[in-house]
Amino acid sequence: MLFDFTETTDSWATKLAVFDLETTGVDVETARVVTAFLGVLDADGEIVERHEWLIDPGVEIPAGAAAVHGISTERARAEGLPAHVGVAEIVDRLAALLAAGLPIVAYNAAYDFSVIDREAIRYAIPPLETPGPIIDPFVLDKAVERYRRGKRTLTATTEHYGVPLESAHDAGADAVAAGRLAQAIGNRYPQLLEVEADELHRRQIDWAREQAESYQQFRRRTEPSFTTSGTWPVR
């Protein structure tokens, strides 16, 4: 057993979906999906359902991106689904999980949900409308441990909370680690478990905005024109 939620059986942490994308780049307006993972974890953080995709993004995968996630243009073209097919399947599966009432965990959710939103629009697929409830350990961690020094990457944050992360930048490994991380944060800060998933989603909207405003203020000390968006979970 990874985590003990026996005292909070009605918590969002007892059963949740997990989601991650690996893509061609960091700009949500231009990034294309290369791999994706959607799964479901039980209260112990064990995988009880999984869905994986390898997609031909229809563009060259930059060498830098391929070096991160290990998928070359050649492999994606040879083995991947056409982008419009893969994106439609991902959107459909996300919609089904949300319709089933499962919160979906994604680390730095504003990236993954913005990318899949733009991909859906790109291929004339109806995008998810105001997806939720979403649980973002990146936002939660900065809310509960605001002044902790150090990096807030998935690797650094899982290490801080004692959550194993194997094969970083593999969509499946990252998604599962993010789900277990959300459970670990909830386990360390039980007050987060006292609200329903929908209420936690609403709180994260405010926290994400506040965190972005704080970061923008910090960066403007040296870059007066710096701006960033705190819109969450879709920019």
Closest residue by Cα to residue 132 from 203, 36, 52, 44: 203
Residue with tokens 């953080």: 45
Average pLDDT over residues 50-74: 97
pLDDT at 3 (0 to 100)? 47
Summarised one tens digit per residue, pLDDT across range 217-232 is 999 999 999 999 999 9
For residues 170-196, one letter each, b for 16 or more C-beta atoms within 10 angstroms of the residue's C-beta and e for the rest, the string is bbbbbbbbbbbbbbbbbbeeeebbeee
DSSP class of residue 125 equals P
pLDDT at 70 (0 to 100)? 96
Going along the chain from its start, the domains and CATH numbers come out as 12-219 (3.30.420.10)
135, with CB counted inside 10 A (0-12, 13-18, 19+), is: buried
Report how far residue 130's alpha carbon sits from residue 104's, in angstroms, rounded to the nearest whole number. Answer: 13
Summarised one tens digit per residue, pLDDT across range 159-194 is 999 999 988 899 999 999 999 999 999 999 987 767
| 118 pLDDT higher than 70 | yes
Q: What is the pTM of this model?
A: 0.94
DSSP string, 148-207: --S--SHHHHHHHHT----STT-HHHHHHHHHHHHHHHHHH-GGGGGS-HHHHHHHHHHH
| 5 pLDDT higher than 90 | no
